[in-house]
Amino acid sequence: MTELMIHLDANSKKPLYEQIYDYIRLHIADGKISFGEKLPSTRFLSKYLQISRSTVELAYSQLLSEGYIESKPSRGYYASDISGLYFGKKQKQEVFMPPKSRPFLVDFSPEENEYAYFPYNIWRKISKEILSANDPTLFTAGPSAGEWELRSAICNYLYHARGVNVNTEQIVVGAGNEYLLLLLAQILGRQKKAAMENPTYLRAYQTLLNMNYDIHLLNTDENGICMDELYRLHPDIVYTMPSHQFPMGTVMPMKLRMELLHWSAEQKGRYIIEDDHDSEFRYKGKPIPSLQSYDVNDTVIYLGTFSKSISPAIRVSYMALPRQLLKSYDTKCSFYASTVPKEQQRALTIFLEQGYFARYLNKMRKIYKGKHDLILSLLKQESWVDTIYGDYAGMHLLVKLHTGQTTDVIIEEAKKKGVRVYGLAEYMIPGLPHTKETKQTLLLGYGGLSEAEMKMGIACIRNIVLE
């Protein structure tokens, strides 16, 4: 008992009970109080230290709950065996800085958008109004699939803009396409066999791969998927981008669409994932209706996003599930909380319902068309350009080089001059062999570029190629 030389400091900011707790804890950890040793009773210790018994009891109960001591009924408190106790030594705090993306003078990234025309003021005004509304439900958990009003507004938009023929309860809202694919993989079930176009959207490929899907890559021709191959591989799921394939820019012809729908209807359990990522932007004729709009057999899963049409910061995507999958969604995924904050869901609902979205889309379609027409006319004047394809939709096109040069040299040389151009090869599934043609094809995004930037970028490529 005399070993226990606790000196309490009544003036310390540390409460008395904590001083006792610390003293005993450290002595047990040090081995100065050894395993099995009896501790003084709370009555004794309070008398000895001349403090209230409840203070000692509080310290003991803390030690008890952390397992440093044990209580044996009508016998008292004993030090526990904490052999191997690790003491938290604070790691040396190394200085790490966040990786900074290297800025380029001109960046032909297909993921760059034009943000300047987004009606920030309206978005801010709507957001502020939502925050000011003093609605306490803004801070409570909402439905898993998203707020009903938003889902209803999306359903309405999809019907009118893309012919998507579903009801509100089939719409699921989530934080980005990849998140929705993660949900889908759970809804569709374990280790399905999926077919994807080669090349395809790498993020979708990586996501399905992460979900342990058995992925088969389909060879494509100028129309897209070869149906023969599909019948040979008999996958459960086909992931495709009929409106404007990424990265190839192909528009799937009606005949192939019908064949695909036939294929999925032929056998129960077959589904088509239609990623309609940049369908809003088409610069010739009117938009091609979605594949889903022709599906009478409830087999198309329609996937869309506001990240392209509004801004990457509005990380809201949506999917329209076939009715036959609603039960599986309910069982397997409806327990997840929504990944989109209510504020953002409500702002987006107003943005859609009050026509701001439609107006913004119309404006952007004109702006992107202008950019598209400009880059196309600029490229057509270039002697090093052989063929241009994937044009008239989206925000990127493909340029086959006339010279037979491969893109990797051009990319490296351009980087040195502050210009980032992309090669089609960068968008191929890693590890697979490329065709010669792939290596000779540039992928140029123009969504974020001004006329001056396009001209500067193209001049840079010209100088490298023709040097």
Check residue 13 for interaction with its own copies (CB under 8 A): no
Q: Which of 40, 110, 142, 304 binds its own copies (CB under 8 A)?
A: 142
Check residue 134 for interaction with its own copies (CB under 8 A): yes
Rank residues 190 and 436 by Cβ distance to its own copies and give the closer one.
190
Rank residues 212 and 435 by Cβ distance to its own copies and give the closer one.
212
Check residue 119 for interaction with its own copies (CB under 8 A): no
Between the alpha carbon of residue 71 and those of residues 23, 48, 49, the distances in Å are: 18, 21, 21
Q: Which of 136, 355, 404, 431 binds its own copies (CB under 8 A)?
A: 136
Check residue 68 for interaction with its own copies (CB under 8 A): yes
End-to-end CA separation in angstroms for the chain: 90
Stretch that binds its own copies, among 259-267, 353-361, 368-376, 394-402 (CB under 8 A): 259-267
Which residues between 48 and 67 bind its own copies (CB under 8 A)? 58-59, 61-62, 65-67
Q: In the chain, what's the furthest Cα-to-Cα distance?
A: 97
Check residue 333 for interaction with its own copies (CB under 8 A): yes
Check residue 256 for interaction with its own copies (CB under 8 A): yes
Rank residues 76 and 163 by Cβ distance to its own copies and give the closer one.
163
Q: Which of 73, 88, 103, 404 binds its own copies (CB under 8 A)?
A: 88
Check residue 82 for interaction with its own copies (CB under 8 A): yes
Q: Which of 43, 47, 128, 327 binds its own copies (CB under 8 A)?
A: 128
Which residues between 263 and 322 bind its own copies (CB under 8 A)? 284-286, 288-289, 293-296, 307, 311-315
Q: Which amino acid is at 63?
A: L
Between the alpha carbon of residue 298 and those of residues 41, 75, 115, 147, 368, the distances in Å are: 73, 71, 37, 24, 34
- What is d(CA 337, CA 274) in angstroms, rounded to the nearest whole number? 25
Q: Which of 186, 198, 406, 450 binds its own copies (CB under 8 A)?
A: 186
- What is d(CA 407, CA 390) in angstroms, rounded to the nearest whole number? 18
Stretch that binds its own copies, among 338-346, 383-391, 413-421, 450-458 (CB under 8 A): 338-346
- What is d(CA 210, CA 50) in angstroms, rounded to the nearest whole number? 63
- The angle subtended at Cα 321 by Cα 317 and Cα 325, nearest 5°, is 140
Closest to 429 measured CA to CA, from 230, 193, 178, 219: 219
Cβ–Cβ < 8 Å for 128, 138: no
Rank residues 210 and 403 by Cβ distance to its own copies and give the closer one.
210
Stretch that binds its own copies, among 163-171, 364-372, 401-409, 451-459 (CB under 8 A): 163-171
Which residues between 407 and 426 bind its own copies (CB under 8 A)? none
- What is d(CA 300, CA 46) in angstroms, rounded to the nearest whole number? 74
Check residue 167 for interaction with its own copies (CB under 8 A): yes
Which residues between 220 and 239 bind its own copies (CB under 8 A)? 223
Rank residues 256 and 410 by Cβ distance to its own copies and give the closer one.
256
Rank residues 154 and 256 by Cβ distance to its own copies and give the closer one.
256
Check residue 344 for interaction with its own copies (CB under 8 A): yes
Q: Which of 166, 208, 414, 444 binds its own copies (CB under 8 A)?
A: 166
Stretch that binds its own copies, among 17-25, 354-362, 396-404, 453-461 (CB under 8 A): 17-25
Backbone torsions φ then ψ of 141, nearest 5 degrees: -70, 140
Check residue 160 for interaction with its own copies (CB under 8 A): no
Burial 77-110 (b: 16+ CB within 10 A, else e): bbbbebeeeeeeeeeeeeeeeeeeeeebebbbbb
Check residue 27 for interaction with its own copies (CB under 8 A): no
Which single residue is written with the structure tokens 């959207």? Answer: 201
Q: Which of 4, 6, 85, 456 binds its own copies (CB under 8 A)?
A: 85
Rank residues 68 and 422 by Cβ distance to its own copies and give the closer one.
68
- What is d(CA 104, CA 420) in angstroms, rounded to the nearest whole number? 6
Rank residues 41 and 127 by Cβ distance to its own copies and give the closer one.
127
Q: Which of 76, 119, 163, 418 binds its own copies (CB under 8 A)?
A: 163
Q: Which of 118, 283, 356, 389 binds its own copies (CB under 8 A)?
A: 118
Q: Which of 190, 268, 380, 416 binds its own copies (CB under 8 A)?
A: 190
